[in-house]
Each structure stands twice: as C-alpha cells, then as structure tokens.
Structure 1
Amino acid sequence: MRVVSTPVAPRLAAAILILVGVTIGLGITGGAVGVGTARAAEPAPLDAERVVRSVVGISAVVPPDSQSSRTLGTDREGSGVVIDGSGLILTIGYTVMEASQIQVTAADGRSYPANLVAYDPVSGFGLLRAEMGFTAPWLRLANSDAVKEGDTLLALSGGDNRGATAVKVVGKREFAGYWEYLLDEALFTFPPIRAFNGAALVNREGRLVGIGSLLVAEAMEGRPLPGNMFVPVSALEPVLADLLAYGRRQEPARPWLGVTLREEMGRLLVDKVSPRSPAESAGLRPGDWIVGIGGQRFSGLADFYRKLWGLGPAGTIVPLEVMRGATLTPVPVTSADRVRFLRLNPTL
C-alpha cells in the first residue's frame, strides 16, 4: 500500500493513520509475495503529524575532485530524520560525506542550510545539524533489536519524494558490502521503496527503528525478492556521544585497503581500486583474485573482513595472497584509516 507523496503534511499524516490502523498481511507462498486481507487492529499510540514533520529531505553538493564523487556523483538527494530538539538529523552517510554544501527541506517545503556533524564508516550513519532557525519535531530511537521478522513498519521519505509506505520485515541478518563494509545485523523489508537513502523506518509507536541504505535484489535470503536494507539504530546508540563530541568514534580505526570486491565461489575478485589508496600503492589491480590473508583462507566476504580487521588497527600491514592468472603472488598492503582519505570538511 503506497501513500501518494504530497507536500501537505496533514494529508500525509492522515494517510499514515490509515496505514497504522490496519494490519497488512504479506503472505509468502510458493516464492511469491502478496498482500493479504486487511483487518481492523487496535489503534496505535502514534502521533502521525509528528512523524511526518520529523522526516526531512536532504540535498548535498560534493566537489568533483573528492574521492566519493567518482562513484556517488556530485549532486545527491536523500532523506533524514530529526532525532533531538536542536536540529540534529540522522541520515545515511554516503548522501552527505565530502559535501561542500548541504541543505535540508522541512515538511512545509522550507529549506535550511545544514552542517555535517559526523560520519561513521563503521555503521554508515551520518549526522547533520540544520541551521538558520530550523525547527521540527523529533523522534525517539526505538530498540531495533526487538524488531522481528514479520513485523509491519512504516518507511517514510522526505523532500520531493515525500511519502510513506507500509513495509514488512522479511529478513534480519548479516550484511557484507563490496566497499569494505559489514553489519552484524541489518533489517530487510518488502515492498521496496525507491527513495530509500536516509528514509526513516518507524514502528507503530512512532519511534525510529532504522535508516534506509540500499535497494537490494534479495531482501529475503535465498529468494529473488527485491526490497530495501535498513541500518538499525542500535548501531548508533553506543557511539552517539563520540560522534557528537569528536565527529567520529573514539576507538582505533579499522584497516582500510581501498578496494571494491565481488564474491564468487568463496574467492574475492578485485573489481576496482580507489585512486591513491593503500591497495593502489601496493600494486593491487582490478582482475586480481584475493584467495588468502595472512596465511588464512576465508569463507566469503564477511569472513574476509573479520580476518582483515582482526589483524590490528589502521596502519597494519595486510599480507594478502593474490592469484594473477595461474600465479599465486604475495601482496603486502600497508592499510590506512578510511576517514583520512575523505574530505569531510571540503572548505579547509
């Protein structure tokens, strides 16, 4: 069920109350997913107007010479969620990292400048603070660990794509990204929403459960069911104080190589090597197959990351074993701190 996007917050809030007021059954049979018969449910204690107004649109301009512009572009759009009374906004970090200009658009259509407060490459979260008189209701963080497969939640987007969709949690599992990223547990939902990056995932009490990150082809493990991946807010709470005080978590940075990887039959193919990265400096190149690390084999992408990060902090020499054609080649890579390669304050 899709609520038609509208710039008028009260209308969207009314539509959300309709969504929350019914139980939507998403039956999964024979590999297909269908919407079941809706039946009346107990009214949920949700302030729909507050939820709508807490979700903002985000636009960011990124310098063309920044590292991330090569893959993410220079003009980015997304959503964010206000999480305190001072205009602090939680979003997905790739929308705003390395941005030289950030603007947020409130539910009433007014736009305000915003500053990057923190970017956390471990969780993938970004924090902004809106300026120049911005005010909006804020959402409390839910216990995302309590979310279960089968739960029905609301996914809300802001900006030009403002709208709300009832979604079902169809997966709660590990996620390994090809860009040296790993979540021990992510939330996967169906049906897919297109305006997913930075979207709010909200429970029936109007609390924030997760932040939208990706459109995925396999939301339900083992089935070709498209959906979205959300980062649970439980990943934010342990490091929120560090992010607010220092702009990053206060623990040794993980070793970063600077590669884009693709997993095939337990081996890892190097798809891309980031310019000026540790991998490029070590001579790693696209087409290489990583088959071992420090004399150890690995079972897949997630296992490789855990073995990589288990070698020590950023700066550790990573002894990779690489297949080039029929030749097994040792490639030692002096790892680095990923954040130091990003222009998180492009004005400097």
Structure 2
Amino acid sequence: MPIDPVSPLLRSVVGVRAMVPDDAFTANALGTRREGSGVVIRGDGLVLTIGYLITEAEEVWLTDQDGRVVPAHALAYDQETGFGLVQALAPLGLPAVALGDASKAKIGDPVVFADGTGRSVKAHIVTKQEFAGYWEYLLDEAIFIAPAHPSWGGAALIGQDGSLLGIGSLLLQMSRNGEVADINMVVPINLLTPILDDLLTRGQVAKPPRPWLGAFSAESNGAVVVMSVAEGGPAAKAGLRQGDIISDVRDGEVDGLADFYRKLWQNPAGSEIPLRVVRDGRETWLRVKSADRNSFLKKPHLQ
C-alpha cells in the first residue's frame, strides 16, 4: 500500500483557547473567550494559528488530541497576513509540519483541512484569488476550498505531500451555477516565510505599520459602504458613519474595497487622510487622522 504522508501529521494540529480581558479593544468584536486551532511548525512547540484568536490574549492554552492541556504564550500577531504565533510553555511531543509552497498548489488539487479536535475534511482548492476583508485586510491571493470545515479558525490546510499550505481564516459562501455553497478562506503559508524571523525576534514585522482607520466596510456594486466604525478609532473620531459611501481617498477615485485599501496604504500611519464621502446623497470631505492599529491593542505578556 502507498504511504500516506498526511494522516500521521493530523495529530500536530492542536486546539487553541485564549482568554482576553474585558477591557481589551477587540473584546466586543471578537469576544473574551476564543477557541480555534493551530499547527505545530517547530519541534520546540512553536504553533502557527490565525491571529484573531490570540489578539490581546492574557492567557493561552493548547490542547492536544488526547485532551492534554499545555499553557502557552502569544508571541506575535501580524496584521497584514493575519497569522499568529504561539509558543507552548511545556513539551507538546508532537512532530512539526513542514511549511509547503502554496504558490504551486493548483485549482482542483486535493487537500486535507484539519482542526485541533481531530476532525478533518477532505477538500479541493476551488479558486485562488484576491480577498478584501471588511476589517481593512487584503490578500493578493487567498486560497478557497470546499467542502467547508465547520471549525475553520486556525485549522491547518495540508497538501497531499504532507506539507502545510495555509491556515484557515473564514467561512464564506460561493455562488456557482445558481447554487450557493459554503467554502473556507485560507491564508497561504508563503506569506509567513519572509516575516517569520521578525515575528520570532521582535513580535512584529520590521517595517512601518499601515495606516488604520477603524472602518468596517463592504463593497456594493463597486462602491465602498461603511457598515460600522470601531468605537474610539480614527474613523469614529472623524465623524465617519454607518451608511457613508467612500468615493475618494485624497484625489484618487475609489474603485472597490481592494482599491480603497491600496490607496489608503500609500500613506504613512499617523497621517491625516482626506476622504470624499457621499452621505444621504450629498458629498462631503472628512479628514481622518489615521493610526497604527497595534497602538490600540494590549500587548502579549508571559504567563
């Protein structure tokens, strides 16, 4: 019988549980008790997960598939990729899953999507394309798979050769031929390699942060519509409101959510960014004093 390189590695996917203070900036949006998965990527117990699980966490615990619980420390969260790193504070005794090359993965390729409870889904890559998230997040090429895993946050996407192709981020819906199906969005592992050393040594990437507005937006027929704003964030302070349509950044017309982010990120964090806004059919200009998103967040501390 042919050797199966995937099955022995599924035990290296662990449960991740994080406790976040009630007064954390992300507590209302993401909750104070967060649960998901992560995957061991180094023999000393370094675990890769999706960053929203551990943002502002004051306690992190890892659970293996035998139910053994190990304390851990939130090392880093990268806003641009969405990856988070956790270090186990006691031996896990689990093999590391090798980092693969997601750029070589093709549409139609079979994959395994596994969570930390031992549940896995045999899936296929249905598309690889740009993804713009409502929380000021953009991937030039995300991986989308189906059928969807019901416990996607931090789950490991493993290729047929047993290498790690990405980390689960979202459950979405895809419409094709008049039918709607659930799919998972996965952050490609190739985004980790260039930043891993910085995350391990500095807790963040060694480059200037992107400007952040604190606006949660959606795209509707090419228009960027504000759905809500973060309380106390730059957009809220500048008077941006739910229902506003952002039509221009400085003197550049906005063509969709991804274009809005790219125009926004041409400016340094902390700069004042003029936005042309359509509100109740009338145009107005708002000047938003942008910020470094990390300055609003509680920093990780060793348990």
TM-score bracket, normalised by the shorter chain, equals over 0.9
Match of 1:37 in 2: none
**1:61-114 C-alpha deviation (Å, 9 max, x unpaired):** 111211211111111110000000111000000011111111000122100011
Match of 1:339 in 2: 294
CA contact (8 A) 2:175 2:181 kept: yes
Shift of 1:47: 5.5
Match of 2:116 in 1: 158
Which runs of 4 or more aligned residues in structure 1 lie more than 6 Å from their structure 2 counterparts after TM superposition?
219-223
Shift of 1:296: 1.3
**1:101-128 C-alpha deviation (Å, 9 max, x unpaired):** 1100012210001101100010000000
Match of 2:260 in 1: 304
CA distance in 2, matches of 1:206, 1:347: 32
Counterparts of residues 162-311 of structure 1 (less than 5 Å) = 162-218=118-174, 224-310=180-266
Match of 1:326 in 2: 281
Of 58, 61, 65, which aligns to 1:100? 58
CA 1:319–1:44 in structure 2 vs 1: closer, same or farther (change >3 Å)? farther
Is 2:89 the partner of 1:134?
Answer: no
Secondary structure at the counterpart of residue 276 of structure 1: coil
Larger Rg belongs to: 1
Which has the larger displacement, 130-139 or 180-189? 130-139
CA distance in 2, matches of 1:347, 1:130: 11
Shift of 1:288: 1.6
Shift of 1:218: 1.5
Shift of 1:291: 1.1
Counterparts of residues 48-87 of structure 1 (less than 5 Å) = 48-49=7-8, 51-87=9-45
Secondary structure at the counterpart of residue 224 of structure 1: strand
CA contact (8 A) 2:113 2:157 kept: yes
CA distance in 1, matches of 2:179, 2:231: 36
CA distance in 2, matches of 1:222, 1:251: 44
Shift of 1:263: 1.3
CA contact (8 A) 2:149 2:184 kept: yes
Shift of 1:315: 1.1
CA distance in 2, matches of 1:222, 1:96: 38
What residue identity is the alignment partner of 2:269? A
CA distance in 2, matches of 1:163, 1:326: 50
How many pairs align? 303
Shift of 1:326: 2.6
Secondary structure at the counterpart of residue 70 of structure 1: helix
CA distance in 1, matches of 2:299, 2:143: 28
Shift of 1:219: 7.5
Is 2:33 the partner of 1:90?
Answer: no
Match of 2:83 in 1: 125
Shift of 1:220: 6.5
- Identical-residue share of aligned pairs (%): 45
Shift of 1:221: 10
The gaps in structure 1 that reach 5 residues or longer are 1-41
Which has the larger displacement, 118-127 or 52-61? 52-61
Match of 1:6 in 2: none
What residue identity is the alignment partner of 1:240? L
CA contact (8 A) 1:259 1:270 kept: yes
TM-score of the pair, normalised by structure 1: 0.83
**1:253-309 C-alpha deviation (Å, 9 max, x unpaired):** 101000100211222221111111111121112222211111211220001111111
Match of 1:46 in 2: 5
CA distance in 2, matches of 1:219, 1:94: 27
CA distance in 2, matches of 1:318, 1:43: 58
